Structure 1
Amino acid sequence: MTLATPATSTPATSTRRPAPARGAGLGLLLALLATVVWSGSFVATRGLADSVPPVQAVFWRWVIALLAVAPFAARPFWRQRAALRRHLGFTALAALFGVTLYNTLVHQAGLTTSATNMGMIMAAAPVIMAVYARLGGERLGARRLLGLAVAVLGVLLLVGRGSLTIDLGPGDLWMFAAALSFASYSALLKRRPAGLDGLAFLFATFVLGAVMLAPAYAVSLAVQGGFPVTPGTVGPLLYIGVFSSAVAFFAWNKAVALIGAARAGVVYYLQPVCVALLSYALLGERLGPAGGACMALILGGVALSSSR
């Protein structure tokens, strides 16, 4: 596998121009790839909930991700060590939101809520991304806002089982916190300093995120003990480490660089659909006819917002 270096994003002070048609198409495909892969991670996370403590699962996720990315990122990381030192504060903040907090909150939510709910609630992230984009001066356009509203309605009805009355449990609240963390990470990506290589930046966030998790991992190990090393634990950890962390984060960062966080966030609305289908196939979590209608609303909103 060859990982190309992401295009450097524009500085925060510049005016972002619309991506060329070819770049926009690639950006949408990369956002879709990340969304589909992350959908599988919610199913894997739910499967680990009964056997691996959340902090330990997240720590090993990033250790595996570092090993997967190192052959491609070690050289760019070393070349850009001076730039990374200059922007250490920004990189550490991105690592905190995107690596340490987001994934820990997701695994914590998996203890008390279903994979389907996890995927549906994460669909709140694009709304927060759009708010960040608007606050940053980006014009969203009437069509994108209408599509956003349609997709939000579909997600709300999906969470409420056909009703706008939503009863949230502790795990659902953890997932809303995860959505806020991920949206904040995506907003930061747009402001990545010019000249900072995307692959080196990604590797640096993985390193810093794992370092931040190390003390909590040590406490969890001392208090809760380790977890059994079996195919049922190693397989999901390899998936979320290699695919959901290394591959998906690379694809998402590249997508945001090409088309912006708000537009990539629209594609992210497909995640509840993917999670619901995977949860049904792998975990037996049923959705029903009302869920299918809500999925149609989500898909329609994504299509409307993504059309040129």
Structure 2
Amino acid sequence: MDRVRTVEQGTPTAAGKKGAAGLGVLLALLATVVWSGSFVATRDMADSVPPVQAVFWRWIIAALAVAPFAARQAWQQRALIRRHLGFVSLATLFGVALYNTLVHQAGLTTSASNMGMIMAASPVIMALYARLGGERLGARRTFGLLLAAFGVLLLVGDGSLGFDFGAGDLWMFGAALSFASYSALLKRKPAELGGLAFLITTFVLGALMLAPAYAVSVAVQGGFEVTAGTAGPLLYVGVFSSAVAFFAWNKAISVIGAARAGVVYYLQPVCVAGLGLLLLGERTGPAQLLCMALILGGVALGSRR
């Protein structure tokens, strides 16, 4: 009887494993939906908050939101952070300061749906980085990546393969490139550097990098009025998109792994299109649906190993 009890206590049951996997998928879906909402929030405040000012306050809010959980670890690892400050600064530049500023700039002249679909193709750029690093892609992955790239070109060309791209689409391409660069850098993250310490350090450094541009923006464009229409989206992108989503995503990866969580991430264009329709009244026509299918199908093929 004691042996049976020990086995029951020490070995996870099939139901327990299934429940943990289900929780991991739900957490990955939560992060994906929250990140999708950030494109809608960005588009919503594009006409009332200048991009640099929006991003600056986003990271101030994000740093305050994670400070209760991350400040202690960051202080304990301050010497380690100083030792790897070059890497942390470069990751901050691409993933925090530059990427999000480009996203907010894109929100001035393109739809939330387009933003989400162009970002869904960022794995194409990540794969190119991997190829430059010596990784073999294979015929299936290459075909998938080309299919996704074709979908993006068709999307921003309004159903044709002409190169008459809108300014917002081009800004979004820059954002996708910046995010892919950040993701490539993460592979070099020192293993001994804690995730929470890394997170809050990039938030604080990102705000510091943006401070000069923020000051110029305020001097030239003036500040923005703090109302429910501006404070709400800023709190959303600062607290939920920059803090809650990261915590949910990291937990999901620890439960189900990056590969399975990544499959859920590719639902982002669908989530963005749905939220854009419900909250902003943005319509998704047949051409956009076709582009969405090409991008999602291509990325799904291109991300498989």
TM-score, structure 2 as length reference: 0.81
1:282 aligned to 2:241? no
Matches within 5 A, 1:191-202: 191-202=188-199
- SS state at 2:183 partner: helix
In the TM superposition, residue 141 of structure 1 has moved relative to its aligned partner by 4.3
Matches within 5 A, 1:1-308: 33-250=30-247, 259=258, 268-305=265-302
Give yes or no for contact 1:189–1:256 (8 Å, CA) kept in 2.
Answer: no
Aligned length in residues: 286
* RMSD over equivalenced CA pairs, Å: 3.1
Give yes or no for contact 1:125–1:265 (8 Å, CA) kept in 2.
Answer: no
Cα separation, partners in 2 of 1:173 and 1:229, compared to 1, 3 Å? same
Q: Which moved more, 1:125-134 or 1:233-242?
A: 125-134
Q: Which moved more, 1:120-129 or 1:279-288?
A: 120-129
In the TM superposition, residue 82 of structure 1 has moved relative to its aligned partner by 1.0
Q: How much identity, in percent, do the aligned residues show?
A: 80
Give yes or no for contact 1:147–1:304 (8 Å, CA) kept in 2.
Answer: yes
Cα separation, partners in 2 of 1:268 and 1:127, compared to 1, 3 Å? farther
Q: Deviations over 1:151-196 (max 9, x none)?
A: 3333333333333334212222211111111111111011101211
Q: Deviations over 1:116-153 (max 9, x none)?
A: 22222223421111111222233444444443333333
CA distance in 2, matches of 1:143, 1:29: 29
Q: Which moved more, 1:163-172 or 1:31-40?
A: 31-40
Give yes or no for contact 2:34–2:241 (8 Å, CA) kept in 1.
Answer: yes
CA distance in 2, matches of 1:170, 1:159: 10
CA distance in 2, matches of 1:287, 1:129: 27
TM-score, structure 1 as length reference: 0.81
Cα separation, partners in 2 of 1:268 and 1:141, compared to 1, 3 Å? farther
The structure number with the bigger radius of gyration is 2
Q: Deviations over 1:210-261 (max 9, x none)?
A: 111112112222222221111111111111101211233455677889548x
CA distance in 1, matches of 2:138, 2:248: 25
Gaps of 5+ in 2: 1-19
- SS state at 2:216 partner: helix
CA distance in 2, matches of 1:253, 1:139: 28
Cα separation, partners in 2 of 1:117 and 1:280, compared to 1, 3 Å? same
Give yes or no for contact 1:80–1:200 (8 Å, CA) kept in 2.
Answer: yes
